[in-house]
Structures are given as structure tokens and as C-alpha cells.
Structure 1
């Protein structure tokens, strides 16, 4: 009765705007957008309507998660297919494909000609409708945009009642289910199913029975059930693209997301209100987070990130419930992260003169590709708009970086900003926190010549591969 996979039958409840969605989906030619957070039943509602339509009018369901479906979605965007199509997980499509589909939706909205244009029913996470309108601003009035909200208490109780009546059972205090699920349709079904199995109510009985609600026990059973399915993906995500005992920004970010109680967050906003993880989030949100999800297939099944909007989503409500009740300290230990006396915002901060920017940029890019937290000024200009570089450089080269990689030559010795940076990090030389890269024979004030560093004086053709060998790989060894 209580269904956690597929479309429910006995326990399906209609959201308040169900009829409006049905009418728009049924109307030929009119594009439709259905948006809302994970667990609000978007796909279930659309599939219910799909099943209720005549075969001739029923749209074809396609998911952006399936490679074969994406190939067909591309064909639709190119005008090679007509008909009615449900495109689920729209936000997972490339920006270019989303734009093409938005343009197609605009034409369909203008003409309402089913013989010339396909009908699109688009399903996505929060704000997908708004994003579509931003792609093509003048289609707003012609597109049916519907937001699915979490179930109210009354709607949740209706769901529970329909299932318990079919089972000839009564829940001891169904409001406890709502307090735990907060209107999440999937979680409500899961909690009800678990309450029944814990109480031994496995099928419809002869006489009506009472199902007790011990939420502590029910929660423990659900979390343990989900652990086998989702813990490996969570651990893979937290350990990053290239594991190092000190490389824990993904762990910190995911923990804060779980503690926020919101499965869809703006990482920029999240960083601004969580100072203790601001550096970790800012360091991965531009490049490294997307690289991680591109390289880790298991993690990418459950986590989504859009660098254009800095939107991060835990797409499966089951995964998010698991994260909310996870033992994060035990996960940290299991990941192999090493406790440190000091937590650094950056693994490496690169100090250089502008004449050596090409080398600095290459080293930064290579280190980023190896999942190292790097401060390279060009990558952080937007983060520090309105702030004084002198104050930020004092913080970054003084205490916020684990090591300073300095590209030393006559330019570094003579120019104002490199000299300022050097004055900040010179006290760290004696601690072994500064890695000199000697680009010429120029004496550098404050850095004794016997400080072991890296010699790199050949910038002739092919210098990039030599820089990898001489600088990048040695830095990685140092970090490890």
C-alpha cells in the first residue's frame, strides 16, 4: 500500500494544483513546466496524468539521466521528432540543449501547432521554470508553469489514512509521521511502510490493528536500510577526486548542506552564512566540484551541480534523509581524513610577479586538476570584489594557506606586490611552509640560498611538461 518505488495506487494524493497541471498537459501544443524540490512528487504526478490520457494523447517519457533518452531529446531539439514528450531532470541537460529546447517551447507556445512543433512537458528541480523564462523571456505567458510544494499536514494525513484503511490498520499517532517527513511524499511512504513492517503488519488483515509509532526505532531502521544503497556514494563524494588525508572540502560542504535541511542550495549563499566552511566551498564551487562529479559516476547519480548558478542538489529524497541522520564524525574517520591542529583554506597559495603569470597559471591549473586547493589570484577576483587585496593577501599568504609556492626571480625581488606578499610569508620560511621555485640567480631578501627549493630556469618550448615534472608533481608529493 505504501509505495517507495514507482507510482503509488492506493496512497496517491492529488496536490491542490493537480487539475491545473492536468489541463495544461492535456492541451495540445502548450508547453508545460513542473518544478519543485526532490520528494515533492513531480514525476509521480506527471506519470499519473500520462497514464490517464488516451494512448493517442499520452506523452512519451524521457529522462536526462539516460543516455539513450538524451539522444532522443537532442533529436527533438533539432526538430527531427514531433509528438508530446515528458523531459524529466531537465536541469541535468547541457546549457546549450536547455536553450535549444526553450527556443522550441517558445515556437510551440506561439503557434500551438502540433503538426509543426512537439509538445514539451519539462520536469526539473527548483526554479527550472524561471530559468526557462530567462532563456527566452517572452514565453512566460504562454507556458504552463506549475510548482509542486511539499504536502500539507492535512494532505499527508490523507495519504496515511488511504493506505491504512486499505490495510485495515490505524496508526497510533499519524501526526508524528508528518513531523518527521515535513510533507515529503517519498519519506511519508517510507516511514509508513517501515512502521508497518516493524509492527508486523505486512498485508491486509481480517481485523483492524493499531500500528504504534516509535519514531526513534523507525528512523534507525530506515537509515540502516538506506546505508547499504547510499553510503558508498556519499563516501566517494566526500573523499574527492584524488584522496589525500587533508583534502576534505567536499565532506565539509556536504555536511553543511545536510545540516541546512534543504536538499537544493545555492553554494554561494551557503558559503556566505557559514564562515567555518566558506573557504572550502569557495575553493571547490568554480571548477573542482564539477570535475569531481564528472569523474565519479557513483556520486553523480545522486548529486547535481550547476556552476552557472552555483546550485547544488541532493536529488534523491532517500539520500537526503540518509544524510540528515548520518554519523558525520564516523564518516570522517572512515574516509581517512586526518585531524590537524590548524585548518587551512588553501593547500597552496602561489606568489609570483606578473611576468611569470603563464607559469603560475599552468601550475594552478594542473594542481586544480589533481584536486588541490589552490589560491591563484585570477580564480578569486569575484570572491574579493570590494575588498582590499592587501588585507586579503596578508590573510592568505600569512595563515590561510598550508604552503606558499613562490616563483622567485628579479621581478619578484623588485616589484611592489610580490615584495608585499614576500614580507607577509617570510616569517614562515623557517617553519618550512614556503616552497621556493628559483627562476634565475637573483638573490631574494629574506630567503637564504640554502633553503631547499626547486630550480626551474628553462622556459623554452615544451616548458609545460617540464614544469609538471619539476614543480607540480613535487608539490603533490609534499602535500601527500
Structure 2
């Protein structure tokens, strides 16, 4: 028998000739391929066996000579495909051929559109038509093709997901026989792979390497596995694939070291979900960083971030549905990676100062309604830095039906790190600003005052001994707001060191 190497039996990618396990979806695949006049979409995340299943099915059906393969990532195949499409557009080819395009989602959009049109024409020609098989990772919530209702019954769609633990165990056992090894902890390995055949291969590879097994053994050999260490090593290996992408997401669209890291907390929340899918409305309000998380969901900054030009790197990995406000990890392998991450190292490598805080808010603004213009300008600048700010208009829907004093009292007493009070004659006259003042007047240096007018009032005199801002030194409210927010953020940054 020829030498059989570890990477041939448990490949990290490609067709697993020695460990392929037939499941229900593979039999459905064969049924669809055998049915004349139908085309087929094979969809699912990376590494779940889509291409391997097609290779197996074509061999099972004896179609080796009948199938013409194209790759969405091979430029030469793009040229071949364009030539074929030109022929098909001039006159339909009906000779029982099968055209299989792997990584269809990686084709240029114009070429995807031409294939789409060719498939739709083909299925109208009846049982003698050539068959198109498109395999790839669909865009979030969509199919690989736009299929009109009239022909949906002629185009099958198979979605590949994770496999049962029993099937993963069969995969490992086939590999044991091929390599002449016994893996004592194979059941635990199958469980650790979380239904992902490629992860199972990587975990077994790691175990074999640690036991100095690189090829088929001449005699039956025992392989011992320490599951936690194996998981950690595989996770470290996957960081070359997912590490940079994860850091880019947790930084968000406009990274600031001082930020409360809402995108970090959001990704960690979804990663900790057993299914990798989370309804944000159900979890945000209970989270310690509810304010900053609500900000990116409500604005809607999260939606804009994932639809921006830089979002291509997240395609096939992270999906957000703005209608249901649900976020999910699309790639099971990426979800597995996130579940086993050292999250402390993630935020430190991303560059945040810290991600856990003693106060619900960094700043609470206290001002009279007549001074809202300048208060709004200060809030906008602080908000852009992704710090947590209590600003009354952001809380209106939470205040409805609530005891307002009981709600805002703790904010000014202890839930905010700093209170920013915009003092004016109107501030002294308003009932609610006086209520707020009574809550924070004892906080001394944690109260930062902005004197909008020169007020001679014994009530506020104790505040003058602390550093403050005076509006008279600025030409416009905008100039004042810019300087106030800049200094406030600098002070906050020093406090977080």
C-alpha cells in the first residue's frame, strides 16, 4: 500500500477522500442531480462540505466526463465561462452537459448576472436542457440567484449546515482506520468540533502531530488528546484567517481608544450565544454597556457599518438584519473561533484603554431647556467619540410612564463619572435643573461647570473654586462646544489609564 499521509486523510481543505461521510443532504443532492431539466444551487458557509459533496455525487453518478468545472476565483476560468455563455446566448446547448461553478459568489457581478440569465433560460427548455450547478456562500439572507416565482419549481436549492455529532464521529473513525490509529478521546473531539467537519480534521491533525503521527502507522498506534490544549492551538492557527477581521470589527467604523467599545461588546455577545444568532432588543437593556450598544443599533450606525465599502471583509461571516434587529455569525467555523477566543487579548490588541467601567455614563449633561443649543453641540461631539453620555432626549422613551425623579436622580448622584452643568440664569429658575443640582452638588471635582452667563448666586459659589469654562471667552457656541468636548475627553482619557 502506498504511503498515506496525515493531511490526505484529515485535510484542512479540499475533498476528504478517506473520511467523507454520506448524510441525508448528500442523498438529496444526488436526487436533484439525477432529475432532468432542473438546475441546482448548493449554498452554505465555508468548510461545510459543499464542494466535497458535489465531487462525491458526480463520482457516485459516474458523471466524471460529463461535468465541466469552473472556479469563481480563477481568472482563466472566468474567460472559459465567458466563452461558454457567449455560445449559450447565441444558441442553447442541449447535449446533457453539467456546468458546475464553484465559489460562484466570488465571480464578478456582471458575470454572475449573465450566469443567472443563462440558468433561467436553461430551465425553460425542459428535460433535455443542460444542467447548471452553482455552489457558493450566499449574501446575508439571500440566495445565490434571483429566481422568478414562475421557475422556482425547476431550480433546487440545498443549504448545507453543521453536521450531527454522530456524523463527525464517523468521520474521525474512518480516519482512524486509514491511519491505523486509536484516538482515545474521539467522542470528546467530535463534540469539540461543534458539527464542523473541517474543524474535526484540524483537531485530529493537531492531536496526531502532538503524538508524532504524520502518516499511516505500520502497527495500530494510540493517540492521546488533551482537548482544551488542542482547541487553543487550533484557535491560534485560525487567527491568521480571522484575527485581523475580528479586530477590524471590534474597532468599529471610527476607532477611538477612549471609546466604550460597543462593537467589541456586541460581537462578544453574539459569540456567546449557543446558536451564534441574537435578537439585540432582548439582550441590550440587560447589558452593562446598554447605552453605548443602543447608540450603534438605534442610530443606525451598526447597519451603516456593515453596508459600507469596508464591509466586504465581513461578508459571509457577520449578518445583521435591521428589520428584526438580529445579528448572527454566518460561518460556523468563525463562530467556533469566537467562542474560544481570549477576549481580554482582543480588546487590548485592538487598542482600547478598557472595556469594563464602574459608571453607567461617562458624562451626564445638566442644563435648562433654553440652553439646549449649546448642550446639543457638546453632546454630539462627545457622542462621536463613542463615550457614554446621559442626554435627556436620548432617554425620552424610557422616561415615559416612569417616576422621572427616581430615574434620573441616581444618574446625577453616582451613575455618571462626571456631571457637566451648563449654568445660566435660566438654570437657577428651572425646577428640574435645581433637582439635578441637588443630586450632584456634593460631588466636588467630578462636577465640571460651563458658565454660559456671569451669575452672582451664593448657591453656585462653591463650584467656582474648581476648574471650569466660561462662555465669554469664545466667539460662538460651536467654538465653546468644541473646546469643552475636547478637554472633557482628554480628562476622561487620563482617568482611564
Equivalent runs, 1:66-465 vs 2, <5 Å? 69=108, 88-91=137-140, 104-105=146-147, 108-112=148-152, 148-235=160-247, 237-238=249-250, 241-244=254-257, 247-272=260-285, 275-279=287-291, 281-286=293-298, 287=300, 289=302, 300=314, 304=318, 306=320, 308=322, 309-329=324-344, 343-381=358-396, 387-428=402-443, 430=444, 432-441=445-454, 446-448=459-461, 450=464, 451-456=466-471, 464=478
Name the larger-Rg structure.
2
Task: Indicate if the aligned counterparts of 1:437 and 1:454 stay in contact, CA closer than 8 A.
Answer: yes
Looking at structure 1, the residues matched to 457 and 158 of structure 2 have their Cα atoms a distance apart, in angstroms, of: 64
1:12 is displaced (CA, Å) by: 3.4
Deviations 1:78-106 (A, max 9, x none): x89967655624118xxxxx6xx89953x
Cα pair distance change 1:112/1:331, threshold 3 Å: closer
| Partner-residue secondary structure (3-state), 1:155 | helix
1:174 is displaced (CA, Å) by: 1.9
Looking at structure 2, the residues matched to 166 and 281 of structure 1 have their Cα atoms a distance apart, in angstroms, of: 50
1:156 is displaced (CA, Å) by: 1.4
1:295 is displaced (CA, Å) by: 9.0
Looking at structure 2, the residues matched to 403 and 246 of structure 1 have their Cα atoms a distance apart, in angstroms, of: 16
Q: How many residues align?
A: 433
1:343 is displaced (CA, Å) by: 1.5
Deviations 1:367-416 (A, max 9, x none): 33333233334445556666544433223333332223344444544444
Cα pair distance change 1:46/1:163, threshold 3 Å: closer
Looking at structure 2, the residues matched to 378 and 258 of structure 1 have their Cα atoms a distance apart, in angstroms, of: 32
Looking at structure 2, the residues matched to 102 and 209 of structure 1 have their Cα atoms a distance apart, in angstroms, of: 45
Looking at structure 1, the residues matched to 316 and 457 of structure 2 have their Cα atoms a distance apart, in angstroms, of: 51
Looking at structure 2, the residues matched to 387 and 363 of structure 1 have their Cα atoms a distance apart, in angstroms, of: 27
Looking at structure 1, the residues matched to 428 and 104 of structure 2 have their Cα atoms a distance apart, in angstroms, of: 58
Looking at structure 1, the residues matched to 452 and 411 of structure 2 have their Cα atoms a distance apart, in angstroms, of: 23
Looking at structure 2, the residues matched to 260 and 368 of structure 1 have their Cα atoms a distance apart, in angstroms, of: 28
Looking at structure 1, the residues matched to 368 and 12 of structure 2 have their Cα atoms a distance apart, in angstroms, of: 59
| Partner-residue secondary structure (3-state), 1:350 | strand
In the superposition, the TM-score normalised over structure 2's length comes to 0.67
1:202 is displaced (CA, Å) by: 2.2
**Who is 2:5 aligned against?**
none
Looking at structure 2, the residues matched to 325 and 160 of structure 1 have their Cα atoms a distance apart, in angstroms, of: 22
Q: Which runs of 5+ in 2 are unaligned?
A: 1-8, 69-96, 122-131
Cα pair distance change 1:112/1:289, threshold 3 Å: closer
Cα pair distance change 1:109/1:299, threshold 3 Å: closer
Looking at structure 1, the residues matched to 140 and 412 of structure 2 have their Cα atoms a distance apart, in angstroms, of: 39
Looking at structure 2, the residues matched to 155 and 269 of structure 1 have their Cα atoms a distance apart, in angstroms, of: 34
1:145 is displaced (CA, Å) by: 7.0
Q: Which runs of 5+ in 1 are unaligned?
A: 93-97, 120-143
Looking at structure 1, the residues matched to 400 and 37 of structure 2 have their Cα atoms a distance apart, in angstroms, of: 49
1:188 is displaced (CA, Å) by: 1.5
Over the residues paired in the alignment, what is the CA RMSD in angstroms?
4.7
Correspondent of 1:41 among 34, 37, 48 = 48
